[in-house]
A = this chain, B = another copy of it.
Amino acid sequence: MLYIPAHALFDRPMTSRFAAALLASVLVTAAPAADPPATPADAVSRAPAAAWRAIPADELLVMTIEGKRRIVIQLAPRFDPGHVANIRTLAKAGWWDGTSINRVQDNYVVQWGDVTERKPLPPGMPTDLKPDYARPLDEFRSGLVRLPYPDSYAPATGFVDGWPVAMDGQAAWLPHCYSFVGVGRNNAPDAGTGAELYAVIGHAPRQLDRNIAVVGRVIEGMASLAGLPRGTGEIGFYTAQEHKVPILSARLASDLPPAERPAFEVMDVTSSSFADYLRLRANRKDDFYIRPAGGVDLCNVPVPVRPAR
């Protein structure tokens, strides 16, 4: 089964009876592949095998929370090698096992880690990481695809190596889009260790870009995180009376037994399939959409990811 962001499939607040009828018609009358794709979902479903890239198993953090719900986070070592190295160290040490999700702030973040902040970190793990939240643009010029629409936060945006990027003339950085994962920290110049992480569950808080380390994105299980009850304490922390959600385990996929190891592919952003997908995300026009926007913002073009075939 194809894994795409659900809202790319039918992103329209249609009525329920109409949705059922439309889905039935789609199942019966799929357009011949020779026609150009008409929707972002078409572009994704028709992408050939060559348009997909396997995600390395040591770039997948597999977290299991209460209820055996699985959260899979794709790590971004090219954008933040220091924090990703720490996250790998923490996963190998089983450091998050027995910790919890401690904060759920509506339209903002879900945050997890050791709520006591007294659990010893793995010996030798660096804790003095530098607050360098952008990388030299030169590292990303190969394979860079520009997004040709204005952005409210950065001089330029685009996609590279499966990731959205914001850019100025010198540097590139990961944006705080929905589902993206960052590193909680204290006041500057502290950069956090990677032991306390958060995922964005609301409108992209792009004001955090270049102010905090972005280390990856949730590619499976977002609904389990975003659907958690909001904490009623200050800034959404669960109070002593509320139920912190236990983290049962967090491991790199590469350290799991083969039978338990998830595998994912991400769309090649230089492929013609991605070009179709991007164009259609910016220009919806079909039986439902009557007025194409003629533009789209960086966080509304989630790069398609699917389970490996």
Contacts and interface: CB of A to CB of B under 8 A. Distances in A.
Interface of A: 5-7, 9-20, 23, 102-109, 111, 113, 115, 117, 131, 133, 149-153, 177-179, 182-189, 192, 196, 198, 201-212, 222-223, 226-230, 234-237, 281-282, 284, 287-291, 293-300
A282 B205 CA distance: 11
B16 A117 contact: yes
Nearest to A5: B107
B117 A226 contact: no
Given A18-B187, A185-B15, A202-B202, A207 B108 contact: no
B211 A288 contact: yes
26 contacts: A6-B106, A10-B234, A11-B108, A11-B205, A13-B182, A13-B208, A13-B212, A14-B184, A15-B185, A16-B102, A16-B115, A19-B237, A107-B179, A131-B290, A150-B151, A150-B152, A152-B296, A153-B296, A203-B299, A206-B297, A207-B281, A207-B293, A211-B284, A211-B289, A211-B291, A226-B226
